[in-house]
Structure 1
Amino acid sequence: MTGRSGRGAESGLVVVDKPAEWTSHDVVGKLRRLARTRRVGHAGTLDPMATGVLVVGVEKATRLLGHLALTEKGYDATIRLGQSTNTDDAEGEITASASAAGVADAALEAGVAALTGEIRQVPPQVSAIKVNGERAYKMARKGERVALEARPVTVHAFTVTAVRREGDLIDVDASISCSSGTYIRALARDLGAMLGTGGHLTYLRRTRVGPYDLGMARTIDQLAERLEVVPMGEAVAAAFPRREVDADDARKVMHGGRLPAVGLGPGPVGVFAPDGTLLALVEEQGRAAKPLAVFVP
């Protein structure tokens, strides 16, 4: 990482440890002021309740964000069994209660196992999914029940780390690794539904987005003192396969030309010049590697 305190914005990624109660947009607004540029965006929204890794792109790095958002993510979560809410998390209103006191450890383990692997998941009612051009959460706020379709997601790991029983409630701590588009709130809701108790999320901390984890993340206060930016080349090399090309192929890529595929796909591949300069992201399709984004003039 490099630190900046002077003028102008450097292109690269800022790995933020998002505080609770801040929206992802709040973080972007703060980073625009710190980096002194409007060209700032984020990869993968975090709900206000959630804390943890939010990857923010500055200047040219905003063109990486759509590709980074598709990488695997990690979370630490607490799921409360025995209560359902209208948002599937603790920010909503309790809509139903059913004692979880009788849920055995074996039943809990079976429920978690059923939600691991390739599953189909219905997004929460309060989500940013668009239905007929309108965000689901806006429709939910108007009291409309939205028919959302189940979508395929992959939960690579769903590991219970602690179980706390108190009266009719059970709090389940878990570490989860999952594909892009997976809602941890929906896992809480579905685990509660499987066990007949209802369930919702009371705590969520994102620990990783692709290769960027909490060890690299900085708080807002730390970034206000010293804006640490992961340079473009380093950011791409950490997240995607690296391909180094000769001067002739570098010229082709710089002008938006295609290269022969070399078997580094199927996702984005970072292309670097002989001197190590990042040139582009490409994607292999058949025998050709097609530019997704070119970063040099």
Structure 2
Amino acid sequence: MAAPSGILLVDKPGGITSHDAVARARKSLDTRKIGHAGTLDPMATGLLVLGVGPATRLLTFIVGLDKTYEATIRLGSSTDTDDADGTETARADAATVAAVTSEQIRAGVDALTGTISQVPSTVSAIKVGGRRAYDLARAGEEVQLRPRTVTVSRLDVRAERRTAGAIDLDVVVDCTSGTYIRALARDLGVALGVGGHLTSLRRTRIGPLPVEGAAHVDALGPDALRSAAEIAALVLGRFDVSADEARDLRHGKRLPGAAGRIGRAERAAAIDPLGGLVGVVERRGDDVKSAINLPEEPAA
């Protein structure tokens, strides 16, 4: 029996880690060779992309894609993790929170939209001196992370709900990879003078891959595997090749004068006549050459 290969789109529930989801996939598919294209916090739900077998090589083209999140920001209190899983560190008095107007919220949201400088949460997975920031923070050590430039192309407030001492904002965020939604909640709260943190977070999209139709963590068997060809074509665009061209690409040869067939893109997914993924190809002047080759797979 051939070792499994392909891409798993997983709809992670809250309360488990992304590594828990990977462990379940390894057990269901009876393989250790599974990687991910970016994790989600235990509190968060939504789309995880897992690569299985040789298809793990595609993850490098997925991890940096733009993402969409649905989240709820609570204004009026702060936590040490910038989300509801943390310990409350500050709370504004109810009158101060009530005085925050919708217009002030809109101005704060607008200031966090576009290309911004963001300091990641201290409980992020960023490495500091070879150690994860969250490990340092949990050990009680001081964590100082450098700001990074990210782009928030959309930060829409879909609903605003007010209770005594709190304002809950339901938001939708489109952003570049590496943006911390918890940090947006924190920074909005700081700007309004009342503190803020996330109470819910759901990732609904990574690049062209939506959470709709993604598999539940209890259903990560072979039937949930999506073909490498299908996902690569969605992410990179499809470049159809003949059987002879597929053979040449697998042997490391260039396809002379073929660059025009991949349009304006720098890379594309080369698909053979049977629907299998040959690999990822890239421009070399007017020619096309393989950047990554994958083993031959059955028709999609």
- Normalised to the residue count of structure 2, the TM-score between the two structures is 0.89
Number of the residue aligned with 1:276: 275
Q: Does 1:125 align with 2:119?
A: no
* Preserved contact between residue 74 and residue 175 of structure 1 (Cα < 8 Å): yes
1:100 is paired with a residue whose SS is helix
* Preserved contact between residue 122 and residue 151 of structure 1 (Cα < 8 Å): yes
* Preserved contact between residue 20 and residue 51 of structure 1 (Cα < 8 Å): yes
Number of the residue aligned with 1:3: none
| CA distance in 1: counterparts of 2:119 and 2:266, whole angstroms | 26
Q: Does 1:63 align with 2:60?
A: no
Task: Map 1:224-243; keep pairs closer than 5 Å.
Answer: 227-243=223-239
Number of the residue aligned with 1:161: 158
Judged with a 3 Å threshold, the aligned counterparts in structure 2 of structure 1 residues 269 and 188 are, in CA distance, closer, same or farther, namely: same
Judged with a 3 Å threshold, the aligned counterparts in structure 2 of structure 1 residues 123 and 266 are, in CA distance, closer, same or farther, namely: farther
Identity %: 50
Judged with a 3 Å threshold, the aligned counterparts in structure 2 of structure 1 residues 247 and 222 are, in CA distance, closer, same or farther, namely: closer
- Normalised to the residue count of structure 1, the TM-score between the two structures is 0.90
Greater CA drift, 154-163 or 241-250: 241-250
1:230 is paired with a residue whose SS is coil
* Preserved contact between residue 8 and residue 35 of structure 1 (Cα < 8 Å): no
| CA distance in 1: counterparts of 2:115 and 2:23, whole angstroms | 36
| CA distance in 2: counterparts of 1:264 and 1:190, whole angstroms | 41
* Preserved contact between residue 54 and residue 295 of structure 2 (Cα < 8 Å): no
Number of equivalent positions? 290
User: What amino acid is aligned across from residue 192 of structure 2 in structure 1?
Assistant: L
Number of the residue aligned with 2:247: 251
Q: Deviations over 1:58-93 (max 9, x none)?
A: 111111112111112111100011111111111111
Unaligned 5+ segments in structure 2 are none
| CA distance in 1: counterparts of 2:264 and 2:8, whole angstroms | 26
1:105 CA displacement: 0.5
* Preserved contact between residue 34 and residue 227 of structure 1 (Cα < 8 Å): no
| CA distance in 2: counterparts of 1:248 and 1:152, whole angstroms | 45
1:285 CA displacement: 6.2
1:49 is paired with a residue whose SS is coil
Task: Map 1:132-171; keep pairs closer than 5 Å.
Answer: 132-171=129-168
Judged with a 3 Å threshold, the aligned counterparts in structure 2 of structure 1 residues 218 and 275 are, in CA distance, closer, same or farther, namely: closer
Judged with a 3 Å threshold, the aligned counterparts in structure 2 of structure 1 residues 92 and 62 are, in CA distance, closer, same or farther, namely: same
User: What amino acid is aligned across from residue 82 of structure 1 in structure 2?
Assistant: G
* Preserved contact between residue 112 and residue 184 of structure 2 (Cα < 8 Å): yes
User: What amino acid is aligned across from residue 68 of structure 1 in structure 2?
Assistant: I
* Preserved contact between residue 129 and residue 135 of structure 1 (Cα < 8 Å): yes
Number of the residue aligned with 2:111: 114
Judged with a 3 Å threshold, the aligned counterparts in structure 2 of structure 1 residues 62 and 192 are, in CA distance, closer, same or farther, namely: same
| CA distance in 2: counterparts of 1:131 and 1:288, whole angstroms | 42
| CA distance in 1: counterparts of 2:21 and 2:274, whole angstroms | 35
Greater CA drift, 248-257 or 94-103: 248-257
Residue from 183, 192, 196 that aligns with 1:195: 192
* Preserved contact between residue 57 and residue 65 of structure 1 (Cα < 8 Å): yes
User: What amino acid is aligned across from residue 165 of structure 1 in structure 2?
Assistant: R
